[in-house]
């Protein structure tokens, strides 16, 4: 299955009042594997960015002045995305701008050229009710390193979202030890439990040399405490499993 993680940057928040796309980034997954066949455009939006948007993406009018206009990259974008499943975080925002740009060219809405849509923001709200579900919050929760994200960028954010999506959909949230992310009470009590039985988890035995080194450490602890350390004690059998008296 071919999936494309897509993100955009824009001159402002409202496509209906004249804001335009100025950057598009797409990351390709085939059968849940990153292929490296990504797509990235800077676009001349033919207008200035709002100050708030400029503070987010840092792409100045001067930098974008010699970049292609949307009409010049539209066909390549459409063919790249054709028949793929599209994955977007807060899809309504990005699709609003893409549909506006496609409409300027007399084309049908963007998703009519693709097979289906996954909105990771909607998925995250279902998985983590009552919690923050921004891209940064999901990176922190799922162990995706976003330390290099100082400004928003369409390709960088698409790459981060690809890692987030894979983590969200392989059922590994139950392996995260620290679940204290500001949620408590009813939201925490109703968190979905994910069974690990569906995964083929490998069992890796310690090598002989590693066992010997481990025993040396335990011997040293035994000697220092003049007794048997806790790591040598067998765990108590589960209740009901104790051997019956003869």
Tally of structural domains, the chain: 2
**Domain identity same for 206 and 109:** no
Q: Same domain, yes or no, for 207 and 158?
A: no
User: At residue 116, does pLDDT exceed 60?
Assistant: yes
Q: Is 195 within a domain?
A: no
Stated length of the chain: 246
From the candidates 40, 113, 148, 152, which is the catalytic residue?
152
> Is 0.75 topped by the overall pTM?
no
CB atoms within 10 A of CB 84: 20
Question: For residue 136, with 0-12 CB atoms within 10 Å meaning exposed, 13-18 middle and 19 or more buried, which class applies?
Answer: middle
Query: What is the span of the domain harbouring residue 131?
Result: 2-189
User: Does the pLDDT at position 183 exceed 90?
Assistant: no
Neighbouring CB atoms inside 10 A of 98's CB total: 27
Rg of the chain over all Cα atoms, to the nearest angstrom: 26
113 plus 185 within the same structural domain: yes
Residue-wise pLDDT for 1-34, tens only, equals 899 999 999 999 999 999 999 999 999 999 999 9
What CATH number is given to the structural domain containing 137?
Answer: 3.30.420.10
- Give the per-residue pLDDT at 102: 98
Please give the structure tokens belonging to residue 144.
């995706």
Mark whether 75 and 35 lie in a shared domain. yes
Q: Same domain, yes or no, for 182 and 205?
A: no
Q: What is the pLDDT of residues 213-230, one digit of tens each?
A: 888 888 877 777 677 766
Residue 110 lies in a domain: yes
Domain contains 236: no
Same domain, 15 and 64: yes
User: Is residue 21 domain-resident?
Assistant: yes
Q: Is 19 annotated as a binding residue?
A: no
For residue 11, tell me if it sits in a domain. yes
Q: Which residues contact 170 (CB under 8 A, 6 or more apart)?
A: none
Q: Which pLDDT band, with edges at 50, 70 and 90, does 124 fall under?
A: very high
Which residues fall within 8 angstroms of residue 212, CB to CB, at 6 or more apart?
Answer: none
In terms of domains, do 118 and 208 share one? no
Instruction: Answer yes or no: is 194 within a domain.
Output: no
The tens digit of pLDDT for each residue in 33-76 reads 999 999 999 999 999 999 999 999 999 999 999 999 999 999 99
Are 115 and 209 in the same domain?
no
Is the pLDDT at 176 greater than 50? The verdict is: no
Token representation of residue 62: 């001067």
The response to whether 57 counts as a known ligand-binding position is yes
User: Is 244 within a domain?
Assistant: no
| Between 103 and 187, residue with greater pLDDT | 103
Output the average pLDDT for the chain: 85
Share of the chain above pLDDT 90, in %: 64
Q: Are residues 206 and 95 in the same domain?
A: no
Structure tokens at 48: 């200035």
Flag the least confident range among 79-83, 105-109, 114-118, 193-197: 193-197
Whose CA is closest to 27, among 141, 135, 118, 162? 162
Is 94 annotated as belonging to a binding site? no
178 and 209 fall within a common domain: no
Q: Are residues 58 and 156 in the same domain?
A: yes
Residue where one domain finishes, among candidates 164, 189, 214: 189
Residues 149 and 213 in one domain: no
Q: Span 128-142, mean pLDDT? A: 93
Q: Is residue 219, in this structure, part of any structural domain at all?
A: yes
pLDDT for 83 equals 97
* Residue 216 annotated as binding site: no
148 given a catalytic annotation: no
Nearest Cα neighbor of 196 from 173, 180, 177 is 173
* Mean pLDDT score, 142-165: 87
The band of 91, judged by pLDDT with boundaries at 50, 70 and 90, is very high
């Amino acid at each position: 299955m071919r999936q494309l993680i897509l993100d955009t940057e824009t001159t402002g928040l409202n496509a209906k009042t004249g804001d335009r796309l100025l950057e598009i980034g797409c990351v390709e997954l085939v059968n849940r594997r990153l292929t490296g066949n990504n797509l990235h455009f800077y676009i001349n939006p033919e207008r200035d960015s709002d100050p708030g948007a400029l503070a987010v993406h840092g792409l100045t009018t001067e930098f974008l002045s010699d970049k292609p206009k949307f009409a010049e990259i539209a066909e390549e974008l459409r063919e790249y995305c054709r028949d793929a499943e599209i994955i977007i975080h807060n899809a309504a925002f990005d699709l609003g701008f893409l549909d506006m740009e496609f409409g300027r060219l007399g084309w049908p809405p963007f998703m009519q050229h693709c097979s289906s849509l996954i909105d990771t923001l909607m998925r995250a709200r279902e998985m983590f009710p009552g919690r923050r579900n921004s891209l940064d919050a999901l990176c922190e929760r799922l162990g995706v390193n976003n330390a290099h994200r100082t400004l928003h960028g369409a390709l960088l954010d698409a790459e981060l979202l690809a890692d987030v999506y894979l983590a969200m959909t392989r059922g590994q949230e139950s392996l995260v030890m620290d679940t204290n992310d500001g949620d408590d009470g009813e939201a925490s009590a109703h968190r979905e439990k994910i069974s690990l039985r569906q995964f083929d988890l490998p069992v890796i035995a310690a090598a002989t040399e590693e066992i010997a080194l481990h025993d040396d450490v335990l011997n040293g602890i035994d000697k220092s405490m003049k007794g048997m350390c806790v790591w040598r004690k067998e765990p108590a059998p589960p209740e009901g499993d104790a051997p019956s008296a003869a």
